Amino acid sequence: MVSTKVLHCCGSPVSKYYSMISVHYCRQMLAGALDDDTKASFDFTFAVILPGGAWCLITDLDQATIDDADKLSHGEALTALVAGEFDVCVPHMFCWPGYTAYRSLFDLLGVPLVRYPGFIQRAPTARTAGLAHANRSLSGAGLGPTRLPNAARA
């Protein structure tokens, strides 16, 4: 049986916090994908983007593996990604560059992304979280929902 080559992209070039959350999320996904059928059907590789922008291309997400892996520049990583001939990429990045530039990079490389419909998933912001709270409060008072201006909904 031919395995599908899956690249899981996680980490963050701009935030240690988002990097840690992203890698943890990816580890949790991996923990749920260790059954025999999944292991027989998919060949997982992990691209971990570290704060500062260096890349690691590894086959497991153990912290020791990340720490000991060769740190690649963008150019070196792109060369390795093209040579890897991945069938699909699953993005697990939660920072703004992860939602935009890194996902676009895989589009440019011709590696299809597994993602929700739409160009990007919007991360909750203080404004939208505050709006949700306001809507709950207004609804509880019998008033209608608050609306965002058109520009904010785009």
Instruction: Give the pLDDT confidence of 50-82 residue by residue, as tens digits.
Output: 999 999 999 999 999 999 999 999 999 999 999
Q: Which fold has domain 4-109?
A: Rossmann fold (3.40.50)
Under 8 Å CB-to-CB from 58, ≥6 apart: which residues? 45, 46, 48, 65, 66, 69
| Confidence check: pLDDT of 146 > 50 | no
Please, what is the end-to-end C-alpha distance for the chain in angstroms?
44
List every span in the chain annotated with CATH 3.40.50.20.
Answer: 4-109
